[in-house]
Amino acid sequence: MYYGKATKPVEIKELRIEDIHLRFGGVQALRDVTIDLSERAILGIIGPNGAGKTSIMNCISGFYRPQTGRITFGGMDITRFPSHKIAQLGIARTFQNIALYTGMSVQDNIMAGRHVLMKRGFLSGGIYFGLARQEEIEHRRAVEEIIDFLEITALRKAITGMLPYGQRKLVELGRALALEPKVLLLDEIMAGMNANEKGDVARFIIDIFELKGIPIILVEHDMGVVMDICDRVVVLDFGEKIAEGTPDEIKADPKVIAAYLGGKKGV
């Protein structure tokens, strides 16, 4: 995986969320939501707090199980797949709340993202000869390439829990990239960052998309970032999809203005 130059784009596999309903007791988190990622694109999902954005990400990645509807990836129904199986298929994600091994180094945290790609068994790994050793070297090389791409080389040996918030977010992005994803889910990757940090992350997202050709679903509150880097935007409000289109279409949509930008319904 080389992020410093253009490489052959990953194979496109359609990701389709179809008529999803998700409830928690009497709370309807998602209602009849359908989203398609059938081409190489950066798809933004926006909406007010509690609109269901993270719930969508959790359904895709297997952390939540919708009561009705289905999710397919490359024509395969993955609605009931466990999260580790979905990761093995090539769907990687970051989390709204950072989920790293805080006592481990940056390098080891990113290396942890490659565990589903490791092929050698317990015996060959235990004696650490031949193929197992070569595989370890290859994984370490891939991790170093990601560290270089994210411009965190100086932090590679740092303990992750000691890093500032914005840098920990980059480590989490690196761990998702270590999976060599076919689809990348970014859940508020820029939350809590200042303007300069957001600019850096936006640049990394564009480079990931353009150099590697990985389709991306981006959940983000910063409307400026979404409108600048996304090809299409889906808008949720109270668990329902109220709009979908290009950034220009979304900015002009009366329902979006009412629900998200603070306008009045019918404007």
**Locate tokens 């970014």: which residue?**
186
Write down the pLDDT at residue 134: 73
Share of the chain above pLDDT 90, in %: 62
Residue 122 has pLDDT above 50, yes or no: no
CB 210 within 8 A of CB 6: yes
The reported pTM is 0.87
Higher pLDDT, 23 or 264: 23
User: Of the ranges 96-110, 143-157, 193-207, which one carries the lowest mean pLDDT score?
Assistant: 96-110
Write down the pLDDT at residue 49: 86
**Locate tokens 């590697």: which residue?**
212
Average pLDDT, the chain: 87
Q: Which of 34, 67, 40 is nearest to 213 (CA)?
A: 40
3-state secondary structure at position 45: strand
Higher pLDDT, 118 or 13: 13
Cα–Cα distances (Å) from 165 to 7, 155, 170, 220, 253, in that order, read 31, 13, 9, 17, 34
Residue 133 has pLDDT above 60, yes or no: yes
All structural domains of the chain, each given as residue ranges with its CATH number in brackets, are 15-100+179-259 (3.40.50.300)
Q: Can you tell me the distance from the alpha carbon of 40 to that of 229, in angstroms, rounded to the nearest whole number?
A: 13
Which DSSP category does 213 fall into?
A: -
Structure tokens given for 65: 């199980």
Residues 222, 211, 87, 12, CA torsion sign: positive
Write down the pLDDT at residue 91: 95
Write down the pLDDT at residue 152: 93
Residue 123 has pLDDT above 70, yes or no: no
Q: Provide the pLDDT confidence category of residue 82 given band limits of 50, 70 and 90.
A: very high
